């Protein structure tokens, strides 16, 4: 299954938890693993707190501090900071599925991470079916 995600800012964390829950539900997976994968070199996916939206802002603030917009980058496209952030955060997450639902803690949400927006993006959601004992 592919989710279409439209970002609205240069850097942005977009909560896609409910869309992943729907994907699990519509796939009819009861037990297994859900892979959330971003096929982009200037975006990423991560799991973190979605209760207080300040956490999103703080994560972006630290990433933007860690990876300066201006440096001695060689990549001619001019978006090296976005490539670096993509690698730091990562292109995929794995989430256990139990009783037909992704196993997420009370405060956990799944975020699409935009580092070179605004753009139209894709998030692939795939499943491996099977219980803990196979
Ligand atoms: Zn580039």
Ligand 1 centroid, distance to 64 Cα (angstroms): 17
Q: Quick one: CA dihedral 21, 127, 45, 88, positive or negative?
A: positive
pTM equals 0.95
* Cα angle for residues 89, 40, 7 (degrees, 5° grid): 85
Task: Report how many domains make up the chain.
Answer: 1
CATH number at residue 45: 2.60.120.460
DSSP 77: T
Residue 65 near residue 3, CB atoms below 8 Å: no
| Tens-binned pLDDT, residue by residue, of the chain (134 aa) | 999 999 999 999 999 999 999 999 999 999 999 999 999 999 999 999 999 999 999 999 999 999 999 999 999 999 999 999 999 999 999 999 999 999 999 999 999 999 999 999 999 999 999 876 65
What range does the domain containing 63 cover?
2-129
CA of 77 to the centre of ligand 1 (A): 5
């Amino acid at each position: 299954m592919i989710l279409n995600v439209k970002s609205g800012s240069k850097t942005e964390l977009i909560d896609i938890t409910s869309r992943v829950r729907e994907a699990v539900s519509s796939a009819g997976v009861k037990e297994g693993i859900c892979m959330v994968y971003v096929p982009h070199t200037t975006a990423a996916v991560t799991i973190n707190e979605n209760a207080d939206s300040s956490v999103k802002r703080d994560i972006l603030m630290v990433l933007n501090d860690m990876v300066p917009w201006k440096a001695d980058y060689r990549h001619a496209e001019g978006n090296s900071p976005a490539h670096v952030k993509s690698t730091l955060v990562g292109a995929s997450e794995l989430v256990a599925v139990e009783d037909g639902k992704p196993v997420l803690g009370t405060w956990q949400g799944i975020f699409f991470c935009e580092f070179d927006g605004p753009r139209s993006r894709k998030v692939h959601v795939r499943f491996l079916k099977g219980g803990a004992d196979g």
